[in-house]
Amino acid sequence: MVLCPVIGKLLHKHVVLASASPRRQEILSNAGLRFEVVPSRFKEKLCKASFPTPSAYAVETAKQKALEVARRMHQKDLRAPDVVIGADTIVTIGGLILEKPVDKQDAYRMLSRLNGKEHSVFTGVAIVHCSDRDGRLHTEVLDFYEETTVKFSELSEELLREYIDSGEPMDKAGGYGIQALGGMLVEHVRGDFLNVVGFPLNHFCKKLAQLYCPPRPGDVRGAERDSIPAVDTFEDLSDLEGGGGSDPAWGGRGGRGGEEAGGAPPQAPGPRDADLNGAAEEKRPPFPTGLLELMEGFKASKALFTACKLNVFDVLRDQGPLKAVDIARKINASVCGTGRLLEACAALGLLHKTDAGYSNTEAADLHLVSDSAHSLHGLAVYNDSHVWDLFTHLDLAARDGAEQARGASGTKAERLFQSAETTLLFMRAMHGLSKLTARDVATAFDLSRFTSACDLGGCTGALAHELAREYPRLQVTVFDLPDVTEHARGFQPDGQRTEHVRFVPGDFFTDALPRAQLYVLSRVLHDWPDDRVHHLLSRISSCCEPGGGVLVAEAAAMEEEEAAAARRRGLQPLGLLLLGAGRPRSARELGQLLQRHGFRDVRVAPAGDLLRVVLGTRAAP
Ligand SMILES: Cc1cn([C@@H]2O[C@H](COP(=O)(O)OP(=O)(O)OP(=O)(O)O)[C@@H](O)[C@H]2O)c(=O)[nH]c1=O
């Protein structure tokens, strides 16, 4: 599992950690999560006896901690954060739950109990998703727990007293801190160490992956491994009081975790009970979250495209927060239609809605306004006006074959370059995407040995400028169709080093390629079928001096079996896959292609979350 991208799913959300524990804050911020800390005021006083298992108690406490913060924040600002995370760590031994000691005596009692024995540490975690529905807070809770087994050495009374005098035990469950002096008491640990410290980071990331990267339909392996547990609502919480149920972790197995049956009433024996008893398990099919998202996804895309097209995000960046009526006036649209569009954008997490009106989220400010440094506005407009149209006729394309579908409205180049307007539309889309990925592509390998590079199909020069910035000795030529180079001037960055980038018009299939030590093909090959790719690579190969290189960047999977994951990453050229003659290729396949055309020492590296970069060195012929 790749952790950073999972944590990254929360980057543009307002995340609150409902915990005063400095350890939790440290674990999560070390993992790259950005969050606000709002300690919960929920008193940890639930009746332990009413819970079937210690883990159920920890999970419920975590849940109540998070919900208290969500409610308080919503009440105060009439706006809840997007996500509130609560956690509760307990130590259990012989059926007894130990929390933080109330005084030194209590700490001594706890540590004496643990002395020389094995005990379990459970951390319950609740991830609460909040939304505002007509001024009322709506919450969806996903919870889970993790268990770790810890064995204490035989410890002298003197050592225990000394340890207690250090003051360390007082704010820690079980009266010890494994991450500090308390580590000396511990003989061994089975399971997740960070779970003992206060937060099961690994399990948390897996849960985020289930939530934000659900398996695609048909991904049976993924569905079994990562199926999304049912989320329950706050309204259902009362069901949790009392009841039976059992927990396999109760048996004291180390290093195991689980879900609290998604908040289902404990009296209903869960599937895990059936497992334990060896009884036949009646399996419910996994909830088709991914499928439903696919069914509805086009509406979300269209709302985003339309808001971009109407410059809603530009208006709000400059003048927000604004009420729907004012936005409608500024974008010259009806009040009722604008209101609906704004509601949809708020529901999609693109806008914040408060009493003062609508305002941009951080992601909207960064990527959806038309002139920001990281703008994807052009891509949204291009997808809306161009790609949307192609997909509307997907059934025809499927029936008649991709080439015929192309034939109806001309080849891709004919369609894109039929007017200056469509060319610019395409270039703006590519520019946003290239700027987003340029740095990752430029730095995936150390290219400082090259002094000249040619970016074939380099469009607006976004990657070329990044290469020139990264490698001061490098002169970069952008080679692209005359229709493109003609308009490239309008995309040049302000500031220095533009003299290291030049534009040469031409067709890389037919015209002489500019001489360079390094040839770059960034997001080009997926557009073309195999015969064209071979033709292009053989042309590059014959221009390239021994020791020179070719660098290919694609939304390619590292391995064939990762293709579905690559598609999920979003930039797999689905449109071309369905409509065009090109096709996506895995990193391995790209490497083999380079080898076939005389490149050796072929290496693959990830370039950020989206692309893979393959670098080959021209061998002596
Ligand atoms: C076993 C163990 C526990 N802890 C700390 O014990 C507190 C548990 O208490 P909690 O009630 O879960 O959390 P809290 O500290 O009261 O914070 P809050 O979330 O606001 O309730 C948390 O701090 C944990 O790190 C350690 O630092 N190291 C260890 O080895």
Ligand 1: which residue has its CA nearest to atom 28?
177
- pLDDT for 342 equals 96
Over residues 332-366, the pLDDT tens digits come to 999 999 999 999 999 888 999 998 999 999 999 99
Residue 163 has pLDDT above 90, yes or no: yes
- pLDDT for 217 equals 55
Strands 257-258 and 136-152: antiparallel
Q: How far is the CA of 474 from the centre of ligand 1 (A)?
A: 53
For 145-149, 288-292, 461-465, which range has the lowest pLDDT when averaged over its residues? 288-292
Query: Exposed (0-12), middle (13-18) or buried (19+): which is 275, by Cβ within 10 Å?
Result: exposed
Position with higher pLDDT, 290 vs 251: 290
Query: Is residue 427 within 8 Å of 460, Cβ to Cβ?
Result: yes
Residue 522 has pLDDT above 70, yes or no: yes
Q: How far is the CA of 339 from the centre of ligand 1 (A)?
A: 45
- pLDDT for 392 equals 83
For 161-175, 218-232, 293-307, 575-589, which range has the lowest pLDDT when averaged over its residues? 218-232
Q: How far is the CA of 199 from the centre of ligand 1 (A)?
A: 9
Phi, psi of 150, deg, nearest 5: -125, 135
The band of 283, judged by pLDDT with boundaries at 50, 70 and 90, is: low
Residue 192 has pLDDT above 70, yes or no: yes
Phi, psi of 32, deg, nearest 5: 95, 5
Query: Is residue 423 within 8 Å of 469, Cβ to Cβ?
Result: no
The band of 271, judged by pLDDT with boundaries at 50, 70 and 90, is: very low
Ligand 1: which residue has its CA nearest to atom 19?
19
Residue 373 has pLDDT above 50, yes or no: yes
- pLDDT for 611 equals 87
- Residue of 46, 67, 89, 118 best suited for mutating to test ligand 1, as the one with most atoms within 8 Å of CB: 89
Query: Is residue 288 within 8 Å of 217, Cβ to Cβ?
Result: yes
- pLDDT for 155 equals 95
Residue 557 has pLDDT above 70, yes or no: no
Mean pLDDT over 87-113 rounds to: 95
Residue 262 has pLDDT above 50, yes or no: no
Q: So which residues are the catalytic ones?
A: 88
Mean pLDDT over 259-276 rounds to: 38
Residue 235 has pLDDT above 90, yes or no: no
Over residues 576-592, the pLDDT tens digits come to 555 566 777 888 899 99
Residue in the structure block whose two tokens are 């035989």: 154
Residue 511 has pLDDT above 80, yes or no: yes
CA–CA gap between residue 565 and residue 503 (Å, rounded)? 35
- pLDDT for 253 equals 36
Residue 260 has pLDDT above 90, yes or no: no
- pLDDT for 614 equals 95
- pLDDT for 516 equals 98
Q: How far is the CA of 123 from the centre of ligand 1 (A)?
A: 9
- pLDDT for 391 equals 82
- pLDDT for 399 equals 74
Residues touching ligand 1 (Cβ under 6 Å) are 19-21, 23, 39-40, 44, 65, 87-89, 91, 100, 121, 171-174, 176-179, 182, 196-198
Position with higher pLDDT, 331 vs 581: 331
- pLDDT for 179 equals 96
The mean pLDDT of the chain is 83
Q: Name 63's Cβ contacts closer than 8 Å, sequence gap at least 6.
A: 86, 124, 126, 128, 141, 143, 237
Ligand 1: which residue has its CA nearest to atom 16?
21
- pLDDT for 620 equals 83
Residue 268 has pLDDT above 60, yes or no: no
Mean pLDDT over 190-196 rounds to: 97
CA–CA gap between residue 30 and residue 71 (Å, rounded)? 27
Residue 265 has pLDDT above 60, yes or no: no
Q: What is the ipTM of this complex?
A: 0.98
Q: What are the DSSP E strand ranges found in 365-471? A: 452-456
pTM equals 0.54
Ligand 1: which residue has its CA nearest to atom 14?
21
Residue 168 has pLDDT above 90, yes or no: yes
- pLDDT for 79 equals 79
